[in-house]
Chain A
Amino acid sequence: MAVRSRFPAGLALDAHKQQACGTQIVELPLPAHLVLALDQGTGYSAEPVVAVGEAVATGTLVARTGHPFASAVHAPLAGIVVAIEAREAAVEGGRSVCIVIEGNGSDRIDDSVRPVKDPASLGPEELVRRLRDAGIAGLGGAGFPASTKLASARNLGAHTLVLNGAECEPWICCDDALMRSAASDVVLGALILRRAAGAVRCVIAIEEDKPAAIAAVTGAIDGLRDDAVTLAVVPAVYPQGAERQLITTVAGVEVPSGGLPADAGVICQNVATAAAVARWATRGEPMLSRVVTVTGSGVGHPGNVRAPIGTPLAALIAASGGYRGTPLRLIAGGSMTGRALPSDEVGLTKSMNCVLVATRDDIGSRLGAVELPCIRCGDCANSCPAGLLPQQLLRAALADAHDTLRQLGVHDCIECGLCDYVCPSQIPLADRFREAKRRLQEAEAMTKKAADARERHELRQRRLQEAATIEQETFESVRGRARRPGVDSTGDSN
């Protein structure tokens, strides 16, 4: 069923998908060593449960967490833990504690890896718990643990599961490749996720420029005979795949500002996450690998690769034909929101859907940009999918006017980068907004800290005063000069 885009604006971008898209998914041979970041891309880390020198089997839990935003990490490779240290990683801030595992040639599989006997018999709560233990994280780009979203969806009574196969960002096509080759996994995972979320309906959304994926998924849905699982063919408009925007297009509701999708009765998961859930159900495999697009003009054979989590990007690129030409930038993700990485030694994370090796051909437009003053042309506002006025936000950001920023909706900015993309003055707007959010967060933390300090200071002043009063009273009673005890309680000592 084809539906219309229903979020504000957006823009059809040059997709650059042809480079990597025609190919089948290649299984990467196990690399010699893996670098497992304990922060898998959400900004929150798991705690290691192994020690340096310890032997691990495939599927052994190496880091666990109680934090709702972090996910458990398992060893995708049997071998020895050779280091646990802070290293460069594809995460906010650029560093994370990493567990480095060196393969020892064994193919021992951890005892915990056993197919789930009858996933349909597990209750939603049990499902959520098991998915959490399996370290299933959102594979769409944010890396948010699936279990956390599922739990909150169930608490808030979400009725619709939206499976995101829009994949709107230029260059990325790993979900497309996965849907073409494993549509039945996607649908199986969708059923499990729907159950865990307590939802009734499930809509799988795919952009209209992926006919092969649409055909494959349609076939898999038809085999299901379940009217509550449907397909929505959505327009190929960036950022169609952004969670809030997709929910609006598919379900016709808006996620309230500052709220969760579940507040609008919807939960969104990526199609690749669903396929990973199916792998967990059928093979008992925790999240050990993912499909990632390796592309860009700077790599020999662009394509989609299934690689173990933690694979150093250098190994990934080597397996894709190595570097070609003059690679200028290594980007985790697509060209619009991807994170530029300082080194190809960092390991693949669960949230990394694309490795873009960009040459001047790919990013030249940005490299040559000269920033000019805003001419108020309004092009940014006319493309913002959140309905914001970036030109006004920019002014507020430059003036560091916090209230204005909040009022103009800086927190509603999804950092899609479209305003940057269209701005004729070539102003790095999205980055200004990221910085503004950071400063806002800092200012809020500072206000809170000041309030704490005020309270502690006042408590202390009171305590000191009371102590002084008591001392005074004691002093006076000892000297026998307390004339009217009880009245002189103000601590006034003259």
Chain B
Amino acid sequence: MRFDTSPAPHVIAGYTVPRVMFQVLFALVPAGVAHVVLFGPGLLLQLSVACVTALLAEAVALRWRGRDAVPALKDGSVLVTAFLLAFSIPPLLPWWLGALGTALAVLLGKHVFGGLGQNPFNPAMVGYAILLVSFPAEMTRWPVPMDVDGTRTWSELARLSFAGFYGADLTARWDGYTGATALDSIRSGLDLRYTLPELLGREDIAGTPGARGFAWINLAALAGGLYLMLRRIVRWHIPVAVLGGLLVPSFIAHGLDSGNALGPAMQAFSGATMLAAFFIATDPVSAATSDRGRLWYGAGIGLIAWIIRTWGDYPDGFAFAVLLMNLAVPFIDRYTVPRIYGRQP
């Protein structure tokens, strides 16, 4: 009897890229639910625009590069990019900005470098950063989250989301329903020489669910992230290092100057902290390679984010922190090569 031959190994674990990617999407569900409950359905609108644009952009880019589009579209990586971008942008963003950001993320962030696996930068953060520097007003306008006492209802938030999505002028009709995020308000408050306890005591920053809104989303993202860690899709090094890089300096600074520096708890559960630590910084393509390298990489992201949050012009620094550390990856990789068995270190 005759047989086909093929080189060893003859089995593989079968834990494929599409499966990894869809697990990541699945782990974003809790954060998505929290987001929709607190901020209205804007996220869903942004997600649909981002996904459609991302798939189209991927197909077009592959076409240009003369590649077969089907396997690449099925691998799910471009959907992860779309999801991360949609989670990062405000849910009130006009749809064309979401589409623009996504298209730029896929084309400039991924395909100009050669597609899947070749991009030195996190594509979602490339798109986000371009939007943020080009449209700072739109990119920092968040809905004030739903209120427990019923002064702002979810249906109102829904109408607001649609208005924002279609690009209506929000200042007239929806004044009071939109505003800056807590991190943002604290930044501007501190700039105006208020002290931190004063700001945290203020109704419009911490008293309302304004801060709690992000706290819930961060908690949900943390849950999703822990799930990914449990499924061994994300290893602990990057998230722990990111959180360490952010929280250790903030703990020290808060201890030294509690009047001006945000404490670790506030840092951990506001802005994009958990999303960045578990979902954005862990994008393997643009991260460092070895475990040791990933610790440096994550710590760098956390630290830079803390620096930007503390002294920078932008309220939340994760996008720039991630992009900056992406830039440092070749350098980190060079100095963190693991020791080969049987060789001297």
What DSSP secondary structure best describes chain A's contact surface? loop
CA of A422 to CA of B117 in the docked complex: distance in angstroms? 17
CA of A382 to CA of B118 in the docked complex: distance in angstroms? 21
Once the chains bind, are B116 and A244 in contact (CB under 8 Å)?
Answer: no
What's the least CB distance linking B63 to chain A, in Å?
17
CA of A245 to CA of B341 in the docked complex: distance in angstroms? 9
Once the chains bind, are B338 and A381 in contact (CB under 8 Å)?
Answer: yes
Query: Quick check: is A370 within 8 A (CB to CB) of the other chain?
Result: yes
In the complex, per-residue mask of A219-232: 1 if CB is within 8 Å of any chain B CB, else 0: 00000000000000
Once the chains bind, are B12 and A365 in contact (CB under 8 Å)?
Answer: yes
| CB closest chain-A residue, reference B8 | A337
Q: Which residues of A contact B (CB under 8 A)?
A: 7-8, 94, 170, 244-245, 248, 254-259, 314, 323, 327-331, 333, 335-344, 358, 362-363, 365-366, 369-370, 372-378, 381-382, 385-389, 391-392, 409, 412, 415, 417, 420-426, 428, 430-431, 434
Q: In chain B between 295 and 344, which residues have their CB closer than 8 angstroms to a CB of chain A?
A: 337-343
What's the least CB distance linking B103 to chain A, in Å?
21
Known: A8-B338, A339-B8, A365-B14. 20 other contacts (CB 8 A): A256-B342, A329-B3, A336-B10, A341-B5, A365-B12, A365-B13, A366-B9, A369-B12, A370-B71, A375-B285, A378-B289, A386-B340, A388-B340, A389-B289, A389-B338, A392-B289, A421-B12, A424-B15, A426-B16, A428-B7
What's the least CB distance linking A267 to chain B, in Å?
16
| CB closest chain-B residue, reference A248 | B341
Once the chains bind, are B338 and A375 in contact (CB under 8 Å)?
Answer: no
- Give which listed residue, A255, A387, A421, A425, contacts B9 with CB less than 8 A: A421
What's the least CB distance linking A448 to chain B, in Å?
25
Chain A hits for B8, CB < 8 A: 331, 333, 335-340, 415, 417, 430-431
- Give which listed residue, A7, A376, A434, contacts B284 with CB less than 8 A: A376
Chain A hits for B16, CB < 8 A: 370, 372, 424-426
CA of A372 to CA of B314 in the docked complex: distance in angstroms? 38
- Given A376-B284, A425-B17, verify A362-B11 contact (CB < 8 Å): yes
CA of A294 to CA of B269 in the docked complex: distance in angstroms? 58
What's the least CB distance linking A413 to chain B, in Å?
10
- Give which listed residue, B2, B115, B337, B343, contacts A343 with CB less than 8 A: B2
Once the chains bind, are A7 and B11 in contact (CB under 8 Å)?
Answer: no
Query: Quick check: is B200 within 8 A (CB to CB) of the other chain?
Result: no
Once the chains bind, are A412 and B1 in contact (CB under 8 Å)?
Answer: no
What's the least CB distance linking A226 to chain B, in Å?
31
Query: Quick check: is B134 within 8 A (CB to CB) of the other chain?
Result: no
- Given A381-B338, A387-B339, verify A375-B284 contact (CB < 8 Å): yes
CA of A81 to CA of B4 in the docked complex: distance in angstroms? 30
What's the least CB distance linking A94 to chain B, in Å?
8
Of B20, B235, B341, chain A has the most CB atoms within 10 Å of the CB of B341
| CB closest chain-B residue, reference A256 | B342
| CB closest chain-A residue, reference B15 | A424
Of B11, B16, B118, B291, chain A has the most CB atoms within 10 Å of the CB of B11
Top 10 A-B residue pairs of the complex, sorted by shortest distance between their CB atoms: A417-B9, A373-B117, A257-B342, A340-B5, A377-B284, A431-B7, A365-B14, A409-B340, A386-B341, A330-B3
Once the chains bind, are B342 and A259 in contact (CB under 8 Å)?
Answer: yes
**A-B residue pairs in contact (CB < 8 Å), sample of 14:** A7-B341, A330-B1, A340-B6, A365-B12, A366-B11, A375-B116, A377-B284, A378-B290, A387-B341, A389-B289, A422-B15, A425-B16, A431-B7, A434-B7
Chain A hits for B15, CB < 8 A: 422, 424
Once the chains bind, are A314 and B342 in contact (CB under 8 Å)?
Answer: no
Query: Quick check: is B77 within 8 A (CB to CB) of the other chain?
Result: yes
Once the chains bind, are A336 and B11 in contact (CB under 8 Å)?
Answer: yes
Q: How many residues belonging to B are interface residues under a CB distance threshold of 8 Å?
A: 41
Chain A hits for B290, CB < 8 A: 378, 381, 389
- Given A336-B9, A337-B8, A381-B289, verify A375-B341 contact (CB < 8 Å): no
CA of A431 to CA of B340 in the docked complex: distance in angstroms? 20
What's the least CB distance linking A327 to chain B, in Å?
7
In the complex, per-residue mask of B1-45: 1 if CB is within 8 Å of any chain A CB, else 0: 111111111111111110110000000000000000000000000
CA of A8 to CA of B337 in the docked complex: distance in angstroms? 14
What's the least CB distance linking B195 to chain A, in Å?
45
CA of A336 to CA of B19 in the docked complex: distance in angstroms? 23
Once the chains bind, are B3 and A373 in contact (CB under 8 Å)?
Answer: no
Chain B hits for A389, CB < 8 A: 289-290, 337-338
| CB closest chain-B residue, reference A391 | B289
- Give which listed residue, B1, B7, B17, B115, contacts A424 with CB less than 8 A: B17
What's the least CB distance linking B7 to chain A, in Å?
4
What's the least CB distance linking A87 to chain B, in Å?
14
Query: Quick check: is B138 within 8 A (CB to CB) of the other chain?
Result: no
In the complex, per-residue mask of B255-276: 1 if CB is within 8 Å of any chain A CB, else 0: 0000000000000000000000
Once the chains bind, are A340 and B11 in contact (CB under 8 Å)?
Answer: no
Chain B hits for A415, CB < 8 A: 8
Query: Quick check: is B54 within 8 A (CB to CB) of the other chain?
Result: no
| CB closest chain-A residue, reference B7 | A431
Query: Quick check: is B287 within 8 A (CB to CB) of the other chain?
Result: yes
